[in-house]
Chain A
Amino acid sequence: MPRPGSMNGNSEKSKDFKGSMVKIFNSLNRWKYILIIALLLACLSSVFSIVAPNKLSDLTDVITKGIRPDTKKLGTIGKKISSNFKEDKLKSKIPTIMMDKSISYEDLNKFNEIMTKMSTIKDKKKASKLIVDIPDSILIKLMDDIYVDNIKISSKDQVKFLKLMSSIDKSKVNNKTLKKFDKLPKSIYNLVKPKIDMSKVKSISLLLAILYILSSVFAYVQAYLMATVSNNFAKRLRTDISNKINKLPLKYFDKHETGDILSRVTNDVDSIGMNMNQSLGTLISNVTLFLGAVIMMFVTDWHLALTAILSSIIGFMFMGLLLSKSQKYFNRRQKELGDLNGYIEEVYSGHNVVKAYNGDKLAKEEFRKINNELYRSSKTSQFLSGIMQPIMMFVGNFGYVAVCVVGALLTMNNIITFGVIVAFMIYIRLFTNPLSQIAQAMTGLQSTAAAAERVFEFLDEEEMTREKKSKLLDKSKVKGSIEFKNVKFGYNPDRVIIKDFNAKAKPGQKVAIVGPTGAGKTTMVNLLMKFYEINSGDIIIDGVNTKDLSREEIHDLFIMVLQDTWLFDGTVGENIRYNKKNASDEEVWKACKTVGIDHFIKTLPGGLNSKVTDNDTISQGQKQLLTIARGMIKDAPFLILDEATSNVDTRTEELVQKAMDKLTEGRTSFIIAHRLSTIKNADLILVMNEGNIIEQGTHDELIKQNGFYADLYNSQFEL
């Protein structure tokens, strides 16, 4: 059913339809052969459904041929009978009739009367008409049995025949005639009765059955293959996107929203898979159908072909007009649906505020407005999309009538047979249906292209440079010194936020990073982990410049425990082991014990094998402990730790803090500090504001400076 831009709002237009399609086909290369087979099958299936009506028309012709009585034979029978009335024959018979005592006197008189009448009429034809008036008793005697096709027609039957024929107006054969024909004597009836060539019926039917079966089987195999290809294609795209995520620089993710990328993996890829599956096959088979129908129509009869096409085109022009007009309403409806959704979300999620501020009246009024707008556009768009189908039907019917009327005219003039009309009745359907299907497939492809554009846009994003392992450092031998030399960094090359940063940390030292929210504390994490490249300057680990190390090697040197307790949907054990799959259970338990979460894990129904998804059983603080345990297992010379413990009750917080302290032991640590104890004990404090490192030194030094840090520190317990 053509519902352009229907409820799901798939009516998006792509910016570069051609380009996206080319890209899609390029990526479909590996399924080339299956695709070609599928599309070939689609063509064949269509060809069969086009050829079929022709065969059906043949079948109809065979049947129609068997409907009319054999008028030729009627003629020969008539002639043979009339040969009984040749003058010489009559003359030889009349005497015997006159002598026949079984014939009544009146009949004889009548016979004489007619004979005299006949002799006065010069026109032989008119004269012969009088024959039927001869009384039956005499007529029978007058005629001999005749043989047509070796079948005997008795004189009695001949009389019946004559009588019947005389009552028929020969200029017109209509239903009444046929009804009379049915009363013909058996011998003649059998001769003239219409005969359907049953063997031909059978052979054509068999052929048709085979065609239909093949057409359906091909269509099925085509759809089956397309489903296979499109789903594998979708899978491939998802894999590509997932792989791409790993190859993109972090910069990308800081600029783009998670939801956006997520919707590319699911919605867009789904839309590509679904639409391609339906559209491509539909498009090919319908274009074939359409072209085939046009060709076949012209081959069969050009008069009717023109009639069919002309009558449909008027309809389609009207449709096209309607469609272009309606697109506007679909888009508007989509937009208003979005507006309404947004407004509802706002009001529902702000329910408390709406209530507490007595905003209900306002909200209701605003809602009424948006709701009314939506009502208007959805009424129109639904109406328009609803009448597409009936209009198509009408176009079909109109074409049908046109074909019938013109076809009848042509049949009567013996230009075409009736079978041709029957074929055209189907052609007109084959001709009108594909057009709407093609239109639908095109909108399908449009949204495929739009979705593909977004997916390919993502896949074409610039990747991080590839690196080889340098093998300059052996993780087990790294002591843990780190030095920043004239480091300059900015997220945008033209906006440097860290200007000329110098600092040094000896193995095992503690570096605290402090600053107000949004001061850019994660920037330090980004630089240390080489998530971002520094603009200039050097970061040196154990004498080796990080520029010469691969990202992977650097990551190996760091344990990172961040504030958001990232756990994946797996078991507790899997989450603690994480990438160190070969870690033994003892190692895991040891880490848990050190962190102090072993008791809790033991209370879980599945122990290490219980799932972490059940959010209810594992609290935020416990999750934090799990991530610390994960760090323990990894074991590396450097540590990046975000101390924030939000949403954690006091008891757990204590546990977490103890665990964190354990983790820092013997490691060069960078701590995003939230606790005063950390700050005070730190070997180095980096004070950040607005992205830059504005002060550095020990606690006492910084307090003495009486600058930003001192201010920040004091405000914590001042009112």
Chain B
Amino acid sequence: MLKLFKNFSKKDILIVIISISLIVLQVYLDLKLPEYMSAITRLVQTDGSKMIDIIIKGLYMVGCAFGSLGTTIIVGYLASYLSADFSRSLRKKIFDKVQSFSTSEIKKFRTSSLITRTTNDVTQIEMLISMGLQMLIRAPIMAVWAILKIVNKSMEWSMLTGVGVVILLSTISILMIIVIPRFKIVQKLVDSMNNVTRENLTGIRVIRAFNAEKFQKNRFENVNNDLTKTQTFIQRSFAVIFPMINFVMHGLTLGIYFIGAFLISEALMYDKIMLFSNMVVFTSYGIQVIMSFLMLAVIFMIAPRSQVSANRINEVLESDISILDGKYSDETDEKGIVEFKNVSFKYPDADEYLLKDISFKVNKGETIAFIGSTGSGKSSLINLVPRFYDATRGEVLVDGVNVKDYKLNTLHNKIGYVPQKAVMFTGSIIDNVSYGDNGKDKPSEKKIKESIKVAQGKDFVESMDKKYSSHISRGGTNISGGQKQRLAIARAIARDPEIYIFDDSFSALDYKTDKVLRDELKKYTKDATSMIVAQRIGTIMHADKIVVLEKGECVGIGTHKELLKSCEVYKEIALSQLTKEELENA
């Protein structure tokens, strides 16, 4: 937590200092209030007090209340400014940091977790600053000050207040000790509840096909029962808190009056009235003391949650970035050449190599394809080209320069990358296709339309309501998977890259579209180099070079025909998809 607060600027610290002094003033005024109250009480008690005196004291009291309100509002404003500003800059820091992450860091944290860290966790801190900080500063000042005010008034009353505080705090802490572990259980049960329900929904066809409704119902009811039991227990436990607080507060007032009656009856006449007004004031101070301790208890409940959030944020901010920018940004002599020289790769924390000693070279205008079963390392291999990861050993060269030496922007300008799962951004189709920056001017509308046409997206785009300006909703939910894939390919084409990278980008397309698209693409980008990862033999059969991967090792490089003869693994894959005669006919 403190580490995060180091991010406070000087201005922020000034605000904190101003806030603290205002809070001190506010506490002073709040505690002054009962004094005027007691003064008024005394005046009312005494015969012959002048009305004007009471009104003057009353005005003082209202003045105090108003002053307290004023300071609270100012502090409230400062706190909300501070918390909003702080969380804004914190969010920006996290976002920028994540932007600089490489894929391995993203993988390490997981996307969903990074999202929560940027939003919910920051909100958690924001809450702490806006509410907690005020309370955290106010409560101790209030408690100490109020205690100082009452402690010399009467030993008996002070002790009674002490007893009240002890009773309340111990009740709350006992409750917390009982309840907090159950919170975790509830979280788990809610998860299983979600799971069973999701199961019921995703498996609805299977469940019905097996007439297993009752079976699922029993599973659901088990979790439902457990969840209800635990939740009821927690809520029943919490039911103690408010009656308890009320009882302690009222009990304190009653106790003070009861003891007061004895004290007054024993006192000299002159002291009696003093004692009496003290008694009235003491009740309100006593309640202030108890309230302050309650607030502190609340903070101690919030704080651990915020601490967890703070830690999670710090993890992101302090995480090392594994991909560092290079310096090379000049034009290269050669274009469209990718070469792997004895490349091995493993994830930073992993023991086993995902790729072992891979070497190949692809020249301008050629198509190279990678095939192999899942986990063979195809995707990892082409991820090394745009430097989503860096090779652990060996060199990856693009246009004769090691990718690590390039400025990332320069390297990325050479590449048109299409991922396995098409990524769409909220915005129009044009926005999506012309996405990014390739160091040149933004593609013209003509270029965009052309790219979409090549990617076989013309028909469906033109059938949409607003054609090329049609809106794509978040995550591209308003278009189908195949349509998304076509737009993602159009995006790469509009970029005019030297090197295309298709990471299994054709699998969402049916055979026919797949084929037509590749034909068109070939025609349109004669000079560009293509690197294709695929699962279908049909997609890659006619590539200039096919690299067959098996468990991270290259078990064959060559054309389709060569590999059918020489490479057992390739043959196996091919035969599982097409019959012998079909392969030979092709």
Contact = CB atoms under 8 A, between A and B. Distances in A.
Given A216-B244, A390-B73, A355 B386 contact: yes
B217 A242 contact: yes
A491 B190 CA distance: 35
B72 A390 contact: yes
A569 B576 contact: no
Nearest to A3: B131
Interface in A659-689: 676-677
Contacts of A716: 511, 538, 578, 582
B72 to A, nearest CB: 4
- Tell me if B's interface is mostly helix, strand, loop or mixed: helix
A220 B239 contact: yes
B538 A67 contact: no
Nearest to A552: B211
A215 interface: yes
Given A353-B423, A372-B88, A516-B510, A719 B242 contact: no
Contacts of B213: 246
Contacts of A172: 47-48
B161 interface: no
A56 B45 contact: no
Given A344-B119, A364-B95, 18 more contacts: A174-B47, A205-B254, A219-B243, A227-B236, A238-B193, A242-B221, A354-B99, A356-B388, A382-B83, A386-B79, A398-B62, A412-B51, A418-B44, A516-B512, A525-B205, A569-B195, A650-B572, A677-B579
Interface string B223-243: 011011001100110111011
B28 interface: no
Contacts of A418: 41, 44-45
Contacts of B583: 717
Residue from the set A232, A347, A711 with the largest chain B CB neighbour count within 10 Å = A347
A681 B144 CA distance: 89
A70 to B, nearest CB: 11
A182 interface: yes
Interface in A465-506: none
Contacts of B260: 63
A205 B66 contact: no
B375 to A, nearest CB: 7
Nearest to B551: A649
Contact of B272 (A194, A270, A383): A194
A350 B193 contact: no
B515 interface: yes
A344 B87 contact: no
Given A67-B276, A717-B586, A358 B413 contact: yes
A546 to B, nearest CB: 15
Interface stretch (B245-253, B354-362, B391-399): B245-253
Residue from the set B85, B215, B480 with the largest chain A CB neighbour count within 10 Å = B215
B270 A182 contact: yes
Interface string B421-448: 0010110000000011111000000000
A676 B576 CA distance: 10
B95 to A, nearest CB: 5
A401 B58 contact: yes
Interface string A366-401: 011001101110111011001100110110011011
A182 B65 contact: no
Given A356-B417, A398-B65, A405-B55, A178 B515 contact: no
B552 to A, nearest CB: 13
B193 to A, nearest CB: 6
A579 B216 CA distance: 9
A266 B197 contact: yes
Contacts of B199: 566, 568-569
A219 to B, nearest CB: 4
A59 B257 contact: yes
B40 interface: yes
A610 interface: no
B44 A408 contact: yes
Contacts of B152: none
A650 B269 CA distance: 102
B264 interface: yes
B1 interface: no
A358 B438 contact: yes
Contact of B258 (A205, A235, A242, A717): A205
A62 interface: yes
A516 B456 CA distance: 16
A150 interface: no
A611 interface: no
A461 to B, nearest CB: 14
A346 B425 contact: yes
B194 A344 contact: no
B103 A62 contact: no
A235 B228 contact: yes
Contacts of A208: 254
B48 A718 contact: no
A405 B242 CA distance: 32
A359 interface: yes
A518 B92 contact: no
B495 interface: yes
Interface residues of B, number: 168
A212 B103 contact: no
A349 B569 CA distance: 34
Given A212-B251, A412-B51, A394 B243 contact: no
| 6 nearest CB pairs, A to B | A357-B436, A223-B239, A649-B373, A350-B423, A227-B235, A397-B65
Interface in A217-257: 217, 219-220, 223-224, 226-228, 230-232, 234-235, 238-239, 242-243, 245-246, 250, 253
Interface stretch (B4-12, B122-130, B177-185, B338-346): B122-130
B246 A215 contact: yes
15 contacts: A175-B46, A195-B265, A201-B258, A209-B254, A227-B239, A359-B437, A362-B436, A394-B66, A397-B65, A404-B37, A418-B41, A517-B510, A529-B205, A531-B208, A579-B212
Contacts of A390: 68-69, 72-73, 76
B453 interface: no
B205 A250 contact: yes
B258 A386 contact: no
Range for the number of chain A residues in contact with chain B = 35 or more
Contacts of B99: 347, 354, 360, 363-364
Contacts of A404: 37, 40-41, 44, 54, 58, 61
B44 A718 contact: no
A510 interface: no
A7 B254 contact: no
Contact of A349 (B111, B212, B435, B488): B111
Nearest to B194: A266
A717 B539 CA distance: 8
Interface string A320-353: 0000000000000000010011111111111111
B347 interface: no
Interface in B508-563: 508, 510-512, 514-515, 518-519, 537-538, 541-542
A555 interface: yes
B285 interface: no
Contacts of A64: 45, 276
Contacts of A650: 373, 569, 572-573, 576
B273 interface: yes
Residue from the set A172, A239, A352 with the largest chain B CB neighbour count within 10 Å = A352
Contacts of B224: 235, 238-239, 242
B515 A718 contact: yes
Contacts of B106: 348, 351
B33 A379 contact: no
Interface string B455-484: 000000000000000000011000011100
B48 to A, nearest CB: 4
Contacts of A163: none
Contacts of A387: 72-73, 76
A196 interface: yes
A179 B272 CA distance: 10
A195 B240 CA distance: 40
